[in-house]
């Protein structure tokens, strides 16, 4: 019950944040502008609208996850409200999980708005909007859950600025980590190859959640792939949350 209350409070606090509306406005503007760009593409209107729309959803969803996530804990410390919460019968893990769920709920709403706009524009441009488009947005949302958990983890022990830098770095690494396996194949040294593989397995692979290209090309989506990606995303999020709880437990707020 406490977790739900904290989550709801975090959600209400997030939707009052002006930064959320600024990012959302930019996202909707860019998604809308894709229709203008599509007009220049010679027969590729639907493709441009979907590609740009899905990429904007991912990118701006990530911005929201980072900018709101990095202040989740640090804001409480800065305002000293954490000193009022900690002595209360609220467990620290419960507090963190509640905060995380509140931000995840905010992301559900914002990504949902962006996804529906992409869907409607795609339907408007050539009637080519399929439910698969919304599935692609949904799978991509799991990647945002990982980014949010990364931001929360850094937020438990670092300043907002540093947390933002670290989270952006992890996002970039995560988007490119799939290429690590290609690099590994280039090396003859078995130990180095194994090292790169270990690094790849430990880092988040955010490329696994990109089903948008397949949807845009009209290629079928394999339910097993979607299920595996979602399971991987949720497992990785769980790992990051546990790590964040471990760090947060060790902090002294007395």
Partner 1 sequence: MSVRAPRRLTRAPWLAGALAAAVLVGLVVPLHRPQAVAAKFDLIEERVWLLPPAGALRVVSLGFHAMAADAIWLLTIQYIGGHLIGDRQFPHLRRLVDTVVDLDPHFLEAYTLGALFLNYSGARVQTALDLLQRGYRANPNRWELPHDIARTYYLELKDYPKALEWFKITDRIPGRPHYIPRFIARLYAATGHRETALELWQAMRDSATSDWVRDIANREIAKLERQSATPFTPGASDTSIRKRP
Interface contacts to partner 1, rule CB under 8 A: 37, 40-44, 47-48, 51-52, 55, 58-59, 172, 175-176, 178-179, 206-207, 210, 212-213, 216-217, 219
Taking the complex as a whole, how short is the minimal distance between the CB of residue 30 and partner 1, in angstroms?
11
Q: Which is nearer to partner 1, 40 or 188 (CB)?
A: 40
Taking the complex as a whole, how short is the minimal distance between the CB of residue 78 and partner 1, in angstroms?
31
Nearest of 67, 135, 97, 130 to residue 244 by alpha carbon:
97
Q: Which is nearer to partner 1, 62 or 106 (CB)?
A: 62
Q: Which is nearer to partner 1, 218 or 227 (CB)?
A: 218
Taking the complex as a whole, how short is the minimal distance between the CB of residue 219 and partner 1, in angstroms?
7
Q: Which is nearer to partner 1, 89 or 127 (CB)?
A: 127
How far apart, in whole angstroms, are the C-alpha atoms of residue 184 and residue 248?
35
How far apart, in whole angstroms, are the C-alpha atoms of residue 236 and residue 93?
17
Q: Which is nearer to partner 1, 6 or 216 (CB)?
A: 216
Going by the DSSP 8-state scheme, the letter that residue 157 receives in this structure is: T
How far apart, in whole angstroms, are the C-alpha atoms of residue 249 and residue 254?
12
Taking the complex as a whole, how short is the minimal distance between the CB of residue 144 and partner 1, in angstroms?
14
How far apart, in whole angstroms, are the C-alpha atoms of residue 159 and residue 163?
6
Nearest of 43, 188, 189 to residue 125 by alpha carbon:
43
Report yes or no: 130 and 209 within 8 Å, Cβ to Cβ: no
Q: Which is nearer to partner 1, 47 or 99 (CB)?
A: 47
| Residue 127 backbone class (left: φ over 0; alpha: ψ -120 to 50; beta: rest) | left
State the distance between the two ends of the chain, measured CA to CA, in whole angstroms. Answer: 25
Tokens of 167: 């989270």
Taking the complex as a whole, how short is the minimal distance between the CB of residue 192 and partner 1, in angstroms?
20
Taking the complex as a whole, how short is the minimal distance between the CB of residue 103 and partner 1, in angstroms?
23
């Amino acid at each position: 019950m406490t977790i739900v209350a904290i989550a709801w409070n975090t959600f209400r606090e997030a939707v009052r944040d002006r930064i959320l509306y600024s990012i959302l406005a930019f996202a909707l503007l860019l998604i809308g502008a894709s229709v203008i760009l599509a007009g220049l593409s010679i027969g590729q209107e639907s493709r441009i609208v979907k590609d740009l729309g899905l990429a904007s959803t991912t990118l701006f969803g990530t911005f929201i996850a980072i900018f709101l996530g990095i202040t989740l804990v640090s804001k409480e410390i800065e305002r000293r409200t954490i000193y009022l919460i900690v002595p209360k019968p609220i467990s620290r893990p419960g507090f963190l999980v509640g905060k995380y769920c509140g931000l995840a709920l905010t992301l559900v709403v914002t990504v949902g708005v962006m996804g529906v706009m992409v869907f409607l524009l795609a339907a408007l441009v050539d009637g080519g909007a399929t439910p698969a488009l919304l599935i692609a947005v949904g799978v991509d949302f799991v990647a945002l859950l990982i980014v949010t958990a990364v931001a929360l983890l850094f937020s438990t022990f670092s300043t907002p600025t540093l947390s933002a830098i670290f989270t952006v770095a992890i996002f970039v690494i995560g988007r490119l980590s799939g290429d690590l396996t290609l690099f590994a194949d280039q090396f003859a040294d078995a130990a180095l190859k194994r090292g790169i593989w270990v690094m790849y397995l430990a880092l988040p692979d955010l490329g696994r959640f990109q089903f948008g290209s397949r949807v845009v090309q009209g290629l079928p989506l394999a339910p097993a792939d979607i299920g595996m990606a979602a399971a991987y995303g949720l497992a990785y999020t769980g790992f990051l949350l546990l790590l964040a709880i471990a760090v947060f437990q060790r902090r002294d707020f007395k």
